[in-house]
Structure 1
Amino acid sequence: MIELISTVVIVAMVFYLIVKKYQPALVLLLAGLILFFIALLLGNPILEPKEATGLGFLDVFKQLELTFVDQLSVVGITIMTLFGYASYMNHLGATDVVVGILTKPLSRIRAKYLLIPIVFLVGNLLCLFIPSSSSLAVILMAVLYPVLRKVGLSPLTIGGVIATVATVVPTPLGADNVIASKTLGISLFDYVFLNHALISIPTILVMAVAHYFWQRYMDKRQAGKAFLVQEEIHNQQETKKILPPKYYGILPLLPLIFIVIAGLFFRDIKVEVVILTFLSFFIVLVIETLRKRNLKQVFDGSFEFFKGMGQGFTQVVIIVIGGVFFAKGLQALGVIEMLMHSVQNVHSAGTILTLFFSGITFLFGLVSGGGTPLFYATIPLIPDIAASAHVDAIQLALPMQLVAHLTRSMSPVAGVIMIVAGVMQVSPIEIVKRTSIPILAGIVTVIVLSLVIL
């Protein structure tokens, strides 16, 4: 009973602090420490005898050290190299080349409402190159907003579409996909293209159709109000950035191309994402050297890769470490074992657990601005819980992961919503009104397909 009460109190504390915008990584690490110390006081083992320090108090911090080492050596370095490569591509201007190539044809389409699903799908493609929803929103508001306004789309329609583009694209370059595949013991290629894509691609198509009808309906309902947005900010001319040659547009795709080729044609060769990302990095170095013929300038610019790795650690990896440490604390307290026993032989346990994890992620995401911290904290527990319930771990993890991303575009406190609303100088609630139905359609599609297919 003490274990259960302690868990409820600490989990409630974690929810409260993250909702209040405390640093989620430190919240999870602190909560994990508290759980371990309670487990220590109750006489529960913290470490295996061969790893113990000989002093229970220090065993807790030894567990923290082991968590850092384990996560950095596998998941952490993968995420950091992907962040580094994306940062380097942005520094070179290769990302801007891709944006220009994909968005330029849109200005030629004159059927304004037909542009809604097209822009949504193009935005999802851009997620392959710009994984940050906030960064992508800033770019699209600067590049696409003026074009779409000239065609005659209302500002609120444009904002609603742009705020939802970075959600559930199946990409092996996504940090959450890397984490899920490693935790569930599945190759990244199989997780993304044989599982994730089966759910996410139909979901994206459903959302595109929902956007088309919902934005038309809202424009008619709001009439002139949909067009009453201050636009002075969009008329400001930005400094023209000198872009590299058009062929640089392929460079951000190199890791993805290598991952797909390895997954399709060289499955017997053991190559990890880190290897392929470093290979891509050095190929780009050669191309940069041949183009600029200034080795010092190329080397100076390439250091952006390592700066990006640091951003990957501070933005994602440390949260993952905190989540894993928190999950280990729950295990040390015995709570996970209790939960595993409770779901054994329960009829329709897979459906119940899928709805439970997805539902709690949805509620958490609404009030906190995104469900990914909860996903990172929960994913280490999924394999054991799924095994006890005799269901496939993917059936629990994948819908939770997708709902975590989708909910972000429905929360008025989410960064992407606040960015779009801030640029347009409207209330975040006005943007949420435009995103709510397409996002709910996406969530329902995710849940239904997960229960039917997975």
Structure 2
Amino acid sequence: MVELIFGLVVIVLAGWMIYKKVNATVALFIAGILLLFGAAIMGHPVLPEEATTGSIWLDPIKSITQSFINNLGNIGMTIMVLFGFSSYMTQIGANEVTVRTLMKPLSGIKSVYVLVPVIFIVGNLLSLVVPSASSLAVLLMATLYPVLKRIGMSALTAGAVIATTATIIPTPLGADNVIAAETFGIDLMDYVLKYHAAISIPTLILMTIAHYFWQKYLDKKNPETDDIDESKLTALREDLPPAFYGILPILPLILITVFGIFVKSINIGLVEITFISLIVTVIIEIIRKRKIQQVFDELMVFFKGMGNGLAMVVALLVAASLMVDGLKALGIIDMLTNSVKDVNGAGMILMFAFSGITALIGLISGGGLAVFYASVGLLPDIAHNVGINGVMLAIPMQLIANLVRSVSPVAAVIIVVCSIIGKSPMAIVKRTSVPIIVGIISTLVLSYVMFS
């Protein structure tokens, strides 16, 4: 009981720090250290006997080392390379070419409410290229928002649709999918196509319908006559590369699909595929610019992007795994599973519990992925002990972590949109709330029906 109380106090402390805008990585890292040293003080082994340092007081420090080593392996390298590639695509202008190319045909559609579902779907597809919700919002507000305003779409409708574009598109290039697939020992493409897509695609369809009717209803209820303030829009690049560059950001996706589905005889991973795509891009850049030194200088952005991936995601994984190790050392995970494994509907209880915590922290902090990263390592053991499919716990957490960002008034994507259209964050959240709530309910219901 002492262990449980101590563990809950530390978890609440971590949540409070995140609420107070302490970086999630730092908050989870501190929580993990406290849990590990707490376990040592209470006489619980922190490391297995074969891995111990020989001193129970030094074992928590070695646990930090092991966590870095484990997370800098396949998962960490994949995430860092993907971050680097995305950064390089932004540097050479390829990401913006892709966005402009896909958005250009939309300017020919004159019906405001036909555009609402179209923009939502196309915007989600663009998140394959620009995975950062706030970065994608900046691009769409600069390229698409002026067009939408000129054809008569209200600022709140346009802002709400753009604020919900980077949500739950199924992609093997997503860091959360890479981590989940590795954690459950499932092939990445299998996880994305058989599990994620089975829930996310129907959910996106329902959200599209909800967007259409909700925005139309609110526009009718509260007509808007605002003029666009173009001075607040981010300036677009004028030195964009040729149109064929638009294929380069999605080249890893094309190659992983080809090798994962059609050429299974070749065993090649996402890291290798991304490096192939990078090499192809560098060769094209050299041929086009004929300035090798400039191309090589710009290539450094790739390595800086890898560093950003390390700082933003891999470090978060290390901190999250430390907290998981601390909870396991205290025996809290065993307590949790033993208390619910014989309860009728244990799977549903756990699904709602994990998803609810994810949604709550996501609303408070502006993103729930920190909770997902912190918890995903627990799910296989908990699911096994309770006798349920771990994916039933993971998929709702993962999707809700991405969805809840669009209804958090402190999320970067909401702040970006409302600052440009000159509305309050709560005004945008009101517009995004119904589609996101529909998405969350759909995610929970479909996950339970399909995986229970």
- TM (norm. structure 1) is 0.97
* Counterpart selection for 2:366 from 352, 366, 369: 369
Identity across matched positions, percent: 49
Which residue pairs with 1:249 in the alignment? 246
Between stretches 201-210 and 287-296, larger displacement belongs to 287-296
Instruction: Specify the SS of the correspondent of 1:170.
Output: coil
Q: Which amino acid aligns with 1:47?
A: L
Matched, 1:290 2:290: no
8 Å contact kept, 2:142–2:236: no
* Counterpart selection for 2:331 from 334, 337, 340: 334
Q: Distance in 1 between matches of 2:156 and 2:67?
A: 45
Between stretches 240-249 and 169-178, larger displacement belongs to 240-249
Q: Distance in 1 between matches of 2:332 and 2:370?
A: 20
Q: Distance in 1 between matches of 2:168 and 2:234?
A: 32
8 Å contact kept, 1:343–1:388: no
Q: 1:26 to 1:240 in 2, by over 3 A?
A: closer
Matched, 1:436 2:433: yes
Matched, 1:277 2:274: yes
Which residue pairs with 2:104 in the alignment? 104
Q: Distance in 2 between matches of 1:147 and 1:350?
A: 47
Which residue pairs with 1:227 in the alignment? 225
Q: Which amino acid aligns with 1:346?
A: V
Matched, 1:18 2:55: no
Which residue pairs with 2:138 in the alignment? 138
Q: How many residues align?
A: 451
Matched, 1:413 2:410: yes
Q: Distance in 2 between matches of 1:259 and 1:292?
A: 28
Q: Distance in 2 between matches of 1:392 and 1:217?
A: 40
Which residue pairs with 1:322 in the alignment? 319
Output aligned runs, 1:294-305, within 5 Å.
294-305=291-302
Deviations along 1:358-389, one digit per CA (max 9) or x if unpaired, are 12211221122111111111100000011111
Q: Distance in 2 between matches of 1:207 and 1:315?
A: 29
Output aligned runs, 1:177-196, within 5 Å.
177-196=177-196
Matched, 1:384 2:349: no
8 Å contact kept, 2:29–2:320: yes
Deviations along 1:142-197, one digit per CA (max 9) or x if unpaired, are 11110001110000110111111111010111111111111111111011111101
- TM (norm. structure 2) is 0.97
Which residue pairs with 2:398 in the alignment? 401
Q: Distance in 1 between matches of 2:235 and 2:137?
A: 16
* Counterpart selection for 1:265 from 242, 262, 271: 262
Q: Distance in 1 between matches of 2:338 and 2:236?
A: 62
Output aligned runs, 1:71-220, within 5 Å.
71-220=71-220
8 Å contact kept, 2:252–2:274: yes
Q: Distance in 1 between matches of 2:91 and 2:378?
A: 38
Output aligned runs, 1:305-320, within 5 Å.
305-320=302-317
8 Å contact kept, 1:88–1:305: yes
Instruction: Specify the SS of the correspondent of 1:137.
Output: helix
Q: 1:221 to 1:286 in 2, by over 3 A?
A: same
Between stretches 138-147 and 50-59, larger displacement belongs to 50-59
| CA displacement at 1:239 relative to structure 2 | 5.8
Q: Distance in 2 between matches of 1:237 and 1:366?
A: 27
Q: Distance in 2 between matches of 1:373 and 1:323?
A: 8
8 Å contact kept, 2:348–2:448: yes
Q: Which amino acid aligns with 2:70?
A: D
| CA displacement at 1:240 relative to structure 2 | 4.3
Deviations along 1:82-130, one digit per CA (max 9) or x if unpaired, are 0000001111111111011100011100111110000111100100000
Q: Distance in 2 between matches of 1:403 and 1:383?
A: 19
| CA displacement at 1:328 relative to structure 2 | 0.7
Q: Distance in 2 between matches of 1:245 and 1:397?
A: 41
Q: 1:110 to 1:255 in 2, by over 3 A?
A: same
Which residue pairs with 2:42 in the alignment? 42
Q: 1:46 to 1:239 in 2, by over 3 A?
A: closer
Q: Which amino acid aligns with 1:118?
A: V
Q: Distance in 2 between matches of 1:91 and 1:232?
A: 24
| CA displacement at 1:7 relative to structure 2 | 0.8
Instruction: Specify the SS of the correspondent of 1:56.
Output: coil
Instruction: Specify the SS of the correspondent of 1:54.
Output: coil
Matched, 1:65 2:62: no
Q: Distance in 2 between matches of 1:51 and 1:266?
A: 41
Instruction: Specify the SS of the correspondent of 1:409.
Output: helix
| CA displacement at 1:298 relative to structure 2 | 1.5
Q: Distance in 1 between matches of 2:265 and 2:417?
A: 46
Q: Distance in 2 between matches of 1:445 and 1:247?
A: 38
| CA displacement at 1:337 relative to structure 2 | 1.0
| CA displacement at 1:229 relative to structure 2 | 6.2
Q: 1:240 to 1:255 in 2, by over 3 A?
A: closer
Q: Distance in 1 between matches of 2:175 and 2:254?
A: 17
| CA displacement at 1:269 relative to structure 2 | 3.5
Q: Which amino acid aligns with 2:36?
A: F
| CA displacement at 1:423 relative to structure 2 | 1.1
What 5-or-longer segments of structure 2 have no aligned partner?
Answer: none
Q: Distance in 2 between matches of 1:37 and 1:270?
A: 42
8 Å contact kept, 1:229–1:426: no
8 Å contact kept, 2:146–2:228: no
Q: Distance in 2 between matches of 1:175 and 1:439?
A: 21
* Counterpart selection for 1:424 from 396, 421, 425: 421
Superposition CA RMSD, Å: 1.3
| CA displacement at 1:346 relative to structure 2 | 2.1
Q: Distance in 2 between matches of 1:140 and 1:263?
A: 31
Instruction: Specify the SS of the correspondent of 1:139.
Output: helix
Q: Which amino acid aligns with 1:227?
A: T
Q: Which amino acid aligns with 2:131?
A: P
Q: Which amino acid aligns with 1:40?
A: A
Q: Distance in 2 between matches of 1:237 and 1:288?
A: 26
| CA displacement at 1:268 relative to structure 2 | 4.5
Q: Which amino acid aligns with 1:197?
A: A
